[in-house]
Structure 1
Amino acid sequence: MLIAGSGTPAALPAKTLKARGYSGKVYQTHGVANNDFLRVCGKDCDGELLPAGPILVTEQLPDSNPAKRSSQAYKDAYEKVYGVGSVSTFGGHAWDAGQLLQHAIPAALQKGQPGTAAFRAALRDALENVKDLPVSQGIIDMTPADHNGLDLRARVMVQIVDGKWKLQND
């Protein structure tokens, strides 16, 4: 069963399936990858599986994972301000965008000043040529045809076990 929901509202179908005796596999989407979902769903979500960004289980990643250092750096910075256990994948996306800009803006400034056509074109070119940039959600390799830049390293399979996220593969 796939529950295609996001946030805490996705707990309702999961809890309802459990209450009605469904015992098959349940899959969620990355839209539930936050600790508030775990709080709302409780034990009814144990065993459910979902794909998520590496940030969700950064401590469980092997040291060889190329995104581990970057995702841990984001998590540490975020939780320093907002408290332990407050990080979610969603804020990581914004941080990753900031990492992209920090990488690309210096190159764009060499071609023009902000607000000019030359700067905008240079910024686009710099972003489209980002290679091997570790961020909280994976490694970014942009091209003119791929403005997402994330590959399979941007997802891990996670299972909910005893109310916690547990890495299933890497």
Structure 2
Amino acid sequence: MIFTTKAEYGVRLMVRLGELPGDEPVSLKTVAETERLPLAYLERIVALLRKAELVTSTRGAHGGYRLARPASEIRMDEVIIALEGAVAPMSCFVDDREGERDPDRVLCSHLDDSGSGCATKLLWTRVQGGVFRALQQTTLAELVSFQSPGDADHDRTGPAPVLSVRPPAATV
């Protein structure tokens, strides 16, 4: 499953907003320069985050954006769904019907589905569930503290594991 740059940049924006002390808004231009992100793209992203009520804005010379709630109350599934829509490992899982959206329901859009799903539905359901649980269990506050140098959690978690795939040994 590959998330788009919309999710990547949106999460980076949220982390930057979560790092701010106090309740002072920050301009998107400042975030764009600090994070080296395109301002026009950030403007579209922040509109989605505002619509989802994850950030608020203030107009004027000292205006800008800030989190709508404390970082500890913002789960990453909310952020990703606001930016990406459905979280799905395969395109056949995307529920694009209007009005009936249920985030807990897995849709198999194959025409010959007959209500039972294709042979790989179990695998993709588990993949989707694992990713979604990881997003639900991660708060913005965790990402902000992970970002901070010298954080004990950062040292404890260590580097991300590197996965390698080796072909099975040949039998003679």
Q: Could you state the TM-score of these two structures normalised by the residue count of structure 1?
A: 0.28
Q: Could you state the TM-score of these two structures normalised by the residue count of structure 2?
A: 0.27
Q: Which has the higher strand share?
A: 1
User: Which protein shows a greater Rg?
Assistant: 2
